[in-house]
Amino acid sequence: MEHRNGQRIQTSMPVELWRDGKCLGHCQSQDVGLGGLSLIGVKQDLREGVLLKVKVYSHSDQADAAVLPPALHCERKAMVISRDKNRLGLMWADENSEFAVLLNKTASSAA
């Protein structure tokens, strides 16, 4: 079951999915939040628990979108947490994510 921590903002930006140094394909963001993001147009068969590198792109100005290539907006690690037809739910999984911070706190208190 997917748990959303905080509100998500609807947005549509180009996204690249990477694994093991190889680009798996392109899709679009549907929404983004503190805990992760949702993607649409995903053609790859990715299972829950798979770790990916996500590259999100943006245009500096919507008027430029037709003539300028997209610029890299952010690049983060994420884990697949849900899959539904061509939609993918991802949770941020890099060192600065809420998930990683909570995991580190839990590990520290258990030691």
- pLDDT at residue 6 tops 90: no
Total structural domains within the chain:
1
Q: Is residue 56 part of a domain?
A: yes
pLDDT tens digits along 21-68: 999 999 999 998 888 899 999 988 899 999 999 998 876 555 555 555
The CATH number for 47's domain is 2.40.10.220
- pLDDT at residue 83 tops 90: yes
Supply the range of the domain harboring residue 83. 9-61+68-110
pLDDT tens digits along 70-82: 777 788 999 999 9
Mean predicted lDDT score pLDDT of the chain: 79
Q: Is residue 14 part of a domain?
A: yes
Q: Is residue 13 part of a domain?
A: yes
Residue 65: what pLDDT?
Answer: 54
- Taking the whole predicted model, whether its pTM rises above 0.75 is answered as no
Q: Is residue 4 part of a domain?
A: no
Provide the pLDDT confidence category of residue 1 given band limits of 50, 70 and 90: very low
Residues 6+ apart with CB under 8 A from 73: 13, 56, 57, 58
In the chain, pLDDT over 70 holds for what percent of residues?
68
| 51 half-sphere exposure, CB direction, 13 A CA radius | 6
